Structure 1
Amino acid sequence: MKFIASTLILLLSASLTLADVRFESKKLEDNIYTVFGAGGFTGGNHLLISGDDGVILVDTSMPDYADMLIATIDDLVDEDEVDFLINTHLHADHVANNGFFADEGATIIAHQGTYDTLKNKGLVSGGGVSDAGENMLPHVVFSQSMTLYLNGLTIELSHIPNAHTLSDIIVYIPEKNMIHVGDMLFNGIFPFIDLNNGGDVDGYIAGQKQILDMIDDETKVVAGHGPFASKADLKKAHDMLVDARSIIAMHKNKGKSEDEVVEANPLKKYHDDWNWGFITTERMTRQVYRGL
């Protein structure tokens, strides 16, 4: 199943209403769940952890769904507040409800680049850039890595430089062999590489390789968008992108313009399986061409 999976999809089908949209969950371990939208686009996939030190949530969902997300959290772990919120990167579908959770007492943790973008540029979404309120700003930031010791777990936060954006982080829990990779994985669909906000095709490939080297075949992988994943899913996405880059680079190196490469349809073999509403085969071709 392919999920609508990007901050830049803001318009749902006219047949959908807010009532159609809901959160669903998958239990990964005792007190650890992945939470994800169904019936429409709610934002990125979440990781939810509860324990004696409080409730930890990875990413925030889109603004319309904050109350629904809290209700889902309450159903799962019998808590209606989030104590620690981790942003995996700067895009609106991962940070838009920062203010909501901060006002309820959450401590927000993010990469320095997420803080800087929200403060100096604003909230980056499909509609452009809008003002970010002061309550959206992360409280704790880091540049390379940070380790949290909460709820009896070691939670390792690591920066993946210039990949999907300039501020991507992954959330790894070694004791549970579990990782949330943010938008370093659009599982089963073409990825969005935000070239306007520090994203880079080669950086994305290198970041995926870095994650592949960290994990094994049994690792539980929460993708930023799309279904719950495995190392095999990440490798499939990585191999597709490596191949797409090679194919488009060959055309570009022959002196073809962007439009000429698009006309040649070099990613035709991936269209049926990877094309989707936001990153179509054409747009995938264009973003890779521009990123070379």
Structure 2
Amino acid sequence: MSKSILRHLLTVGLLAATAMQAEAQRDFSQVEIEPQPVADNLYMLTGAGGNIALFTGDDGAFMVDDQFAPLSEKILAAVSTLTDKPLRFVINTHWHGDHTGGNENMGKAGALIVAHENVRKRMSTEQFTKLWDRTTPPSPAAALPVITFTDVTTFHWNGDEVRVQHVGPAHTDGDSIILFKQANVIHMGDTFFNGSYPYVDLSAGGSVDGVIENARRVLELADDKTKIIPGHGPLTDKKGLQQYHDLLVRLRSKIKTLVDAGNTREQVIAAKPTKEFDEHYGQGFMKPDVWTGIVYDSLKQQ
């Protein structure tokens, strides 16, 4: 084994171990749930994990994603400050635990959990993530979505038409975006990481090209007044999504050029194709070398 390959494997292993250790040791007692108004009766809640959307009104509370289980009490307390109506539905944008960890608790609070059928399939079976060399055990039965769909489902709720649309392989194979039609708000789940390189879970059917294509389609749906909730990062708009889309298109092209020239995975990473953007986009969870490797792997899988 070459020294460069060994160094890369050690780096990936260290990142995976660090991420797992951080999750296990995190003190959720220090996390605060912060509501941010997005539109009339619609809020983005931040804490730890994926961004939550909360839609309130006479029909009851409607939530998109629910972060980690230890935060459920705080999330429900935040909901109670925004509405006196019960929580009726929780939509999972995909299967990852920072978006579905509160499912069991929200179900016990009276909510029906809804997701694409692939979310239930992945949550109900053991999952292996090659990038982190990590196995995720099946979720408890009480945490699984109780309503699933194959393509799209629509809620006529709180005076709005809320469209939950499955999108082809992107962050995973079970991603959904949620369009609040009258409010003109779109929650994109982890198909959109605002301000950082996106994590694409190739082991769960994800695709870099799918992430780019989904961003393009949402840009077609949005107008200059549309508010866009990303899976991670600050609330933004069509302009912010356009910047994200254009960045991914540019970097994919640079990496594909290196791949087409016959470079190995290690050589593509060593070429630092993302270098000019790393100061802004490479400081979060998804480090530049790891992200470049994901793009390489995704292109080679085509």
Give the structure-2-normalised TM-score. Answer: 0.87
In structure 2, distance between residues paired with 1:95 and 1:122: 15
Higher relative contact order (CA 8 A, sep 6+): 1
* 2:115 match: 110
Which sections of structure 2, spanning at least 5 residues, go unmatched?
A: 1-17
Extract structure 1 runs of 4+ deviating beyond 6 A.
none
AA matched with 1:117: R
* 2:206 match: 199
Q: CA deviation at 1:203?
A: 1.0
AA matched with 2:203: N
1:138-194 deviation line (CA, Å, top 9, x unaligned)? 111111111110111100111111000000001101111111111111001000000
Say whether residues 1:251 and 2:258 are aligned partners. Answer: yes
Say whether residues 1:290 and 2:297 are aligned partners. Answer: yes
In structure 1, distance between residues paired with 2:40 and 2:138: 39
Aligned counterpart in structure 2 of residue 82 of structure 1, from 64, 81, 87: 87
**Residues 156 and 9 of structure 1: CA distance in aligned 2, closer, same or farther (over 3 Å):** farther
**Residues 189 and 239 of structure 1: CA distance in aligned 2, closer, same or farther (over 3 Å):** same
Higher helix share: 2
AA matched with 2:120: Y
Q: Is the 8 A contact 2:176 2:189 kept in 1?
A: yes
**Residues 100 and 123 of structure 1: CA distance in aligned 2, closer, same or farther (over 3 Å):** farther
Q: Is the 8 A contact 1:188 1:233 kept in 2?
A: no
Q: Is the 8 A contact 2:227 2:236 kept in 1?
A: yes
Aligned counterpart in structure 2 of residue 156 of structure 1, from 160, 163, 174: 163
Say whether residues 1:59 and 2:69 are aligned partners. Answer: no
Q: CA deviation at 1:128?
A: 3.0
* 2:40 match: 30
**Residues 122 and 96 of structure 1: CA distance in aligned 2, closer, same or farther (over 3 Å):** farther
* 1:44 match: 50
Task: Name the SS of the counterpart of 1:65 in structure 2.
Answer: helix
Percent identity, aligned pairs only, is: 33
In structure 1, distance between residues paired with 2:284 and 2:261: 30
In structure 1, distance between residues paired with 2:262 and 2:20: 36
In structure 1, distance between residues paired with 2:128 and 2:298: 23
In structure 1, distance between residues paired with 2:71 and 2:45: 13
**Residues 283 and 224 of structure 1: CA distance in aligned 2, closer, same or farther (over 3 Å):** same
Q: Is the 8 A contact 2:69 2:103 kept in 1?
A: no
In structure 1, distance between residues paired with 2:189 and 2:28: 25
In structure 1, distance between residues paired with 2:121 and 2:26: 35
AA matched with 1:113: N
Q: CA deviation at 1:16?
A: 7.5
